[in-house]
Amino acid sequence: VYFDSLGKWVEVGGAGLLRPEVLEPLKIRKPVIAWGLGFTRLAMFALGIDDIRNLFSENLNWLRRKEVYAGNRG
Amino acid sequence: MPVIEVKRSRLPDIPDEELEEILHMIKAPVEEKGEVWKLEITNDRPDLLFSSGVKRDVLGFIGKETGIPNYKPTPSGIKVVSRCPSRPFLGCFVVKSADFDVQELMDFQEKLNVSLGRNRVKAAIGIHDFKKIKPPLEYLSGKPGEKMRPLGMDSELTLKDILVKHPKGREYAHLADGFPVIKDFHGIISFPPIINSWRTRVTEETRDLFIEVTGTDEKTVTHVVSILACNLAEAGGKVFSIEVGQKVFPELEPKQVELDPSYVEKVLGLGMGVDEICEILERRRFSVMRIGDSLRVLVPSFRTDILHQVDLVEEIAIGYGYNNIRPRIPSVPCAGKLLSNGWDAAREIMIGLGFQEVMTFILADPREQFEKMRINGSAVELKNPTTERMSICRVWLLPGLMRILSKNMHAEYPQKIFEVGDCILPDENSENGSKTVRRICGAVSHDRVNLTEIKSIVEALFKNLKIEYRVRPASHPSFIEGRCAEVVVSGKPCGFFGEVHPEVLVSWGMEKPVGAFEFELFSSEKNIEK
């Protein structure tokens, strides 16, 4: 993902096709894709957090002041 | 992943921007630019750990040099006797007048030792100045008392002393079983996998190299020899082969892999013709022969990562350009929509009631889950926890909220927090011995919190969710007797609320009272309309 604030590309996750050697023993005949995103980095950017410790903070005052984006639910 | 430093002048003479883009695509992304470029090399491409290997790949990518490179070694006439049972495999060759930077070559050697060589166990490399070596050469088990002047020392030492006095000796002493040595006419030139002799050292003036690779794994030794020989040949060197026993090194014959074009289509789905597949493979430095409907691909010996035809499909995708693959919405008859699963509604109701949402860890501390809450119980334990604080899976949420409240006694009151999260309970009837349940837990803390306040919150939650419920008195060790109740839905208790027991407050070091509830609102399958 390109971040304007950093002026560079940041790796946030990996994706790919599973190797046939992995699928064959499981008798899976269709190709399988898998992907995973590093949630912490994205969350830090989305919430404007620059210290990873704050993402795991137990500080209620910090949490109360923090804007939270709830997204579109249902 | 390993990072190499390469002089820009050793990379292809194309604009920086274009080069950076290509390096990114061939799995050697640029970390730093300047006179020296830092490239992060993927672990499956050890042949890219040296500038000539990178250059070969890039020149192929832009179509300037295509097909399998031809590095045919000339027999040197040298034969090596190899008989060292403790480290049985040796491969070696000579390369003359290659164009290289000594430092870059040493870095390349060390990165191969660490990666493919598994830290010198499966294979370790020694590089010598060929002009300083006088055949005949022999690889055998030495004697602890035999002497050699190692690199980095100014006098001769016995092999036994090298293991004690030389830094590399101390680092790799565990691999020195049987004291493997390589000798020439004058004596020991190498004590693999520890250190080379000072006598045959490589200097800035060295142009002709004798390279030996020893190890415990024959295939790895052969691969490492191939990669070194091909990259030095690519750097303009002339390679001379050496006979070791019945074998000749380097072994540079290409491997043949059958590739079915319909398999390429099955994996990539780009509708590529056979001509395009061949053209791309040639650009990725393979050679292709057409055999009827199938393709026979010649894989150069340095491409140790090609194990299956799927790896060639990956090369085709790389050559085509991942960025040129356009996303397409699949033509399926329906589109998905988000499930409104009730839990989100519950969370919004809690926020509406003025609660702050928190998320705590699923891994928990057994003391916090049980002792500090005045209860006994069992939990799913981790086999290899890194810390006691995270050694079991939580069986309930309230301890996590107690922890947060106990850490925030300086913050403004009233404090109202809640969490929706999974708990993992031991379950003998389930296949994996556990079951996961989702729960909602809330906690309120201020000077005058009481059962009535908690009950009004609980009722607001259930009423807004349109769940029919009944409340009845209950008893729970974490709550004050007579100030605790459970909620019954469809005839079954689904959780409890009450005033937290003073002993629990004390065990958490808390000064203000806490009221709390915890419920399993919906069974996992059941969804309700918002």
CATH of the domain at B482: 3.30.930.10
With respect to residue B479, please indicate whether it lies within any of the assigned structural domains: yes
Same domain, B204 and B94: yes
Same domain, B79 and B46: no
Of B310, B348, B411, the CB nearest to A60: B411
Q: Nearest chain B Cα to A61, which residue?
A: B411
Same domain, B116 and B164: yes
The predicted pLDDT at position B529 comes to 40
Q: Tell me how far apart the alpha carbons of residues B182 and A44 are, in angstroms, rounded to a whole number.
A: 56
Q: Tell me how far apart the alpha carbons of residues B395 and B399 are, in angstroms, rounded to a whole number.
A: 10
- Give the containing element (helix H, strand E) for B265: helix B261-268
Residue contact B404–A58, C-beta within 8 A: yes
Same domain, B354 and B473: yes
Q: A74: distance to nearest CA of chain B, Å? A: 5
Mean pLDDT by 10 residues, chain B (530 residues): 95 96 94 95 96 97 95 95 95 96 96 95 96 95 95 94 94 94 96 96 95 96 97 97 95 95 93 96 96 94 94 96 87 77 91 95 96 96 92 97 96 96 94 92 97 97 95 97 96 96 97 97 54
Of B310, B348, B407, the CB nearest to A19: B310
Query: Residue B488 pairs with which residues in a beta bridge?
Result: B470, B493
Q: B444: distance to nearest CA of chain A, Å? A: 13
With respect to residue B229, please indicate whether it lies within any of the assigned structural domains: yes
Tokens linked to B75: 């027999």
CB distance B97 to B220 below 8 Å: no
Q: Which of A23, A58, A59, A61 to mutate to test the interface with B (most CBs of B within 10 A)?
A: A58
**Helical ranges in B63-189 per DSSP H:** 102-114, 159-165, 167-172
With respect to residue B451, please indicate whether it lies within any of the assigned structural domains: yes
What distances in angstroms separate CA B180 from CA B138, B150, B169, B237, B515, one per listed residue?
11, 14, 13, 29, 73
Collect all residues of chain A within an 8 Å Cβ-Cβ radius of residue B339.
74
Of B266, B404, B530, the CB nearest to A74: B530
The predicted pLDDT at position A68 comes to 67
With respect to residue B67, please indicate whether it lies within any of the assigned structural domains: no
pTM for the predicted model, two decimal places: 0.74
Same domain, B218 and B108: yes
| Residues from A in contact with B at Cβ < 8 Å | 17, 19-21, 31, 58-61, 63-64, 68, 73-74
Q: B419: distance to nearest CA of chain A, Å? A: 13
Same domain, B392 and B492: yes
Q: Which residue has the tokens 């640029």?
A: B30
What is the 8-class DSSP label of residue B86? T
Residue where a domain terminates, one of B18, B33, B61: B61
Q: Is B141 helix (H, G, I), strand (E, B) or coil?
A: strand
Question: Three-state SS across B285-340?
Answer: CCEEEEECCEEEEEECCCCCCCCCHHHHHHHHHHHHCHHHCCCCCCCCCCCCCCCC
With respect to residue B456, please indicate whether it lies within any of the assigned structural domains: yes
The predicted pLDDT at position B524 comes to 52
Of B310, B415, B530, the CB nearest to A60: B415
Collect all residues of chain A within an 8 Å Cβ-Cβ radius of residue B344.
73-74
The predicted pLDDT at position B528 comes to 42
Q: B412: distance to nearest CA of chain A, Å? A: 8
Q: Which residue has the tokens 């695509």?
A: B25
Q: Is B204 exposed, middle or buried (0-12, 13-18, 19+ CB in 10 A)?
A: exposed
- Of the candidates B477, B482, B485, B481, which has an alpha carbon nearest to the alpha carbon of residue B518? B485
Tokens linked to B35: 């006179």
Q: Tell me how far apart the alpha carbons of residues B222 and B302 are, in angstroms, rounded to a whole number.
A: 10
Residue contact A20–B530, C-beta within 8 A: no
| Residues from B in contact with A at Cβ < 8 Å | 266-267, 308, 310, 338-340, 344, 348, 356-358, 403-404, 407-408, 411-412, 415, 417, 530
Which residues, other chains included, contact B411 with Cβ-Cβ below 8 Å and sequence gap of 6+? A59, A60, A61, A64
Residue contact B407–A73, C-beta within 8 A: no
Of B266, B308, B407, the CB nearest to A58: B407
Q: Tell me how far apart the alpha carbons of residues B48 and B234 are, in angstroms, rounded to a whole number.
A: 12
- Give the containing element (helix H, strand E) for B191: strand B187-191
Same domain, B316 and B284: yes
Q: Is A39 exposed, middle or buried (0-12, 13-18, 19+ CB in 10 A)?
A: exposed
Same domain, B373 and B498: yes
Tokens linked to B414: 């009233």
Q: Tell me how far apart the alpha carbons of residues B389 and A1 are, in angstroms, rounded to a whole number.
A: 35
Q: Tell me how far apart the alpha carbons of residues B492 and B486 are, in angstroms, rounded to a whole number.
A: 10
With respect to residue B335, please indicate whether it lies within any of the assigned structural domains: no
Question: Three-state SS across B360-374?
Answer: CCCEECHHHHCHHHC
Residues present in chain B in total? 530
Same domain, B448 and B380: yes
Residue contact B411–A61, C-beta within 8 A: yes
Q: B261: distance to nearest CA of chain A, Å? A: 16
Q: Tell me how far apart the alpha carbons of residues B530 and B358 are, in angstroms, rounded to a whole number.
A: 22
Q: Could you count the other beta carbons within 10 Å of the beta carbon of residue B235? A: 22
CB distance B526 to B342 below 8 Å: yes
Which value does ipTM take for this structure? 0.73
Q: Which residue has the tokens 């984006």?
A: A69
Same domain, B361 and B493: yes
Residue where a domain terminates, one of B201, B221, B249: B249
Q: B452: distance to nearest CA of chain A, Å? A: 25
Same domain, B353 and B373: yes
Q: Nearest chain A Cα to B341, which residue?
A: A74
Could you tell me the CATH number of the domain that includes residue B49?
A: 3.30.56.10
With respect to residue B334, please indicate whether it lies within any of the assigned structural domains: no
Q: Could you count the other beta carbons within 10 Å of the beta carbon of residue B155? A: 8
The predicted pLDDT at position A73 comes to 44
Number of domains in chain B: 4
The predicted pLDDT at position B527 comes to 41
Residue contact A59–B340, C-beta within 8 A: no
Q: Tell me how far apart the alpha carbons of residues B14 and B12 are, in angstroms, rounded to a whole number.
A: 6
Q: Which residue has the tokens 């002048």?
A: B9
Tokens linked to B58: 């890039």
The predicted pLDDT at position A71 comes to 55
The predicted pLDDT at position A4 comes to 81
With respect to residue B328, please indicate whether it lies within any of the assigned structural domains: no
Q: A4: distance to nearest CA of chain B, Å? A: 18
What distances in angstroms separate CA B280 from CA B222, B317, B319, B324, one per listed residue?
28, 9, 6, 14
Same domain, B371 and B274: no
Residue where a domain terminates, one of B198, B216, B249: B249
Q: What digits encode the pLDDT tens for the residues A26-74? A: 999 888 999 998 888 888 877 778 888 888 889 999 888 887 665 554 3
Q: How many CA atoms lie within 13 A of B76 on its CB side?
A: 25
Q: Which domain holds residue B52?
A: 3-61
Residues present in chain A in total? 74
CB distance B312 to B297 below 8 Å: yes
Q: How many CA atoms lie within 13 A of B518 on its CB side?
A: 20
Collect all residues of chain A within an 8 Å Cβ-Cβ radius of residue B357.
68
